[in-house]
Structure 1
């Protein structure tokens, strides 16, 4: 339960209790999983900024956040789970027809759960082959949904493949055929877009059927990012496609997936070698023989 105290009465023990509650927070689906260590750190830093400002303004003598220990974060390369192409294929094959385009938007356009759930048909440009991300769904405590702007810097247009656009087009024609361009692409209860619990239920059914019980839906977004990097896309391109607020966020998450200088040198050497060996039977030109 929240405790209302004036800022000069808040002690370090209050901050530590708050951090502990965040680690066992009920996210609304009946399971106490808590927030991720990175999310807790972000919230803590916001609170700390308030106390430090209060110290500078001499409203309080000391900062109660000093010395508070935060949950340890795992190294990105250790924590990141990248689904294989076989796993993605199994998930798409096991998904119900109404859920398959949702998974495809996560795996081949990098959309977050809330972003995919909040898509309107008008957000899909079927002619130009693009998906506009301009809102997200958040679950309300009463079980309803709230439509809000996406995370800071996440508004974007994702240039989608012809195959993905075709999949969504066929889905809309079959399951959302009314002429209203502002209708939701995916529908939950009461004509609203689906919220996290609904999508989570669909996801759990699909991953169990596909034999991928440990994958998270968010891992499909990582699959998309890794595919862009493997195709040679630079940091800024990946940042914009994923809707990260800065290239630093992209690098902090995926830097280990980009080839190192040694990798690029080795690849360049291999290409030179193959080019030379491939010409071993060709005669020298007059200039080369001179």
Structure 2
């Protein structure tokens, strides 16, 4: 419902009621301007682009916090959201005043100091908040649309996989109480936090399995907490007898701690991200194996599975990816290509023919004798 009325002072008052019955009004010197405003409002309602003129006055930080408070997030995602908001250069702007140019300038600034993958995570969270604002009719458009993100390196170029001799060196120089932790990462493919979250009951020494049902999340002792694994990552890993023996010796010689019988930790508490990474840095420096991270040991495990002929689903289940597509997107470059398979098949074919020929020659020679 909309109307235009002339005021006693000669100005024109245009007003309308929105979908919830709230009245909005503006005053104009000319009737034609009042009519144009009403027409624009009507058009925005018809096209679904109408927003409350006062709603967009909220700052982006205020909106983001409101939006984040109702999201169902894992602790890690919540932490990333807090970091994304803290990094937003426009967080104190009214949300309706934020332009695509603000977003692009922010992305460029992040790209100068953060990895492309981290920039993408921050951008996706901020863009999701803006999309929610559009859905709730706070703003008409998402200013993140069309922003150019930094290019990520190709996975085969960015991924580092330790060589077997480098893993061996790390295990040899690692303290007795830390080497089994390295072994679980390298020979079972557990993430840093998953390995830190292992308890004695998670290892079935008879069936040779490790049950991944929790992880330690947090960078410091104060912030560390026990949480479920990443979505889709709860799993049973079928491990080699040799790894089971390593863990059995660890329990026998080093022991477990706490009423939960934690397998790995230091100072009577389980590892957090910083404490595990710090100890690993000391090991790799002593072993002189370069800048490999604990997560690179997971890549080492996967590369071994693939080299041994494991299919995508087998690898997916072993490492706890939610879908096979994630596994393929991450590790497709490690699988043999069509060219590799063609060459291998050709080699086998040639070997078969030449072997048959050699056998035939030997048979004829034996017969002639």
Shorter-chain TM-score range? 0.7 to 0.9
Shift of 1:37: 2.4
Q: Which residue of 2 aligns with 1:280?
A: 357
Name the SS for the 2:226 alignment partner. strand
Question: Within 2, Cα distance between the matches of 1:135 and 1:21?
Answer: 36
Deviation string, structure 1 residues 114-173 (Cα, Å, up to 9, x no partner): 110011111111110011111111126673411111111111111000000100111011
Deviates more, 1:54-63 or 1:263-272: 54-63
Contact 1:188/1:195 (8 A) holds in 2? no
Name the SS for the 2:294 alignment partner. coil
Deviates more, 1:5-14 or 1:77-86: 5-14
Gaps of 5+ in 1: 25-32, 285-290
Q: Which residue of 1 aligns with 2:175?
A: 96
Relative contact order: is structure 1 or structure 2 higher (C-alpha 8 Å, sep ≥ 6)? 1
After superposition, the Cα gap between the structure-2 partners of 1:186 and 1:14, relative to the gap in structure 1 and judged at 3 Å, is farther
Shift of 1:227: 0.5
Please report the RMSD computed on the Cα atoms of aligned residues, expressed in angstroms: 2.7
Q: Which residue of 1 aligns with 2:316?
A: 239
Contact 2:220/2:274 (8 A) holds in 1? no
Q: What is the TM-score when the length of structure 2 is the normalising length?
A: 0.67
Question: Within 2, Cα distance between the matches of 1:185 and 1:17?
Answer: 47
Task: From 200, 207, 228, give the equivalent of 2:305.
Answer: 228
Task: From 285, 291, 308, give the equivalent of 1:208.
Answer: 285
Q: Which residue of 1 aligns with 2:225?
A: 146
Deviation string, structure 1 residues 193-224 (Cα, Å, up to 9, x no partner): 11011111110110001111321111111111
Moved over 4 A (4+): 3-7, 9-24, 177-180, 281-284
Deviates more, 1:207-216 or 1:158-167: 207-216
Question: Within 1, Cα distance between the matches of 2:221 and 2:348?
Answer: 60
Structure 2 residue 242 is the aligned partner of structure 1 residue 136: no
Larger Rg: 2
Q: Which residue of 2 aligns with 1:288?
A: none
Deviates more, 1:156-165 or 1:11-20: 11-20
Task: From 171, 175, 178, give the equivalent of 2:254.
Answer: 175
Question: Within 2, Cα distance between the matches of 1:13 and 1:120?
Answer: 50
Structure 2 residue 277 is the aligned partner of structure 1 residue 187: no
Q: What is the TM-score when the length of structure 1 is the normalising length?
A: 0.84
Contact 1:140/1:146 (8 A) holds in 2? no
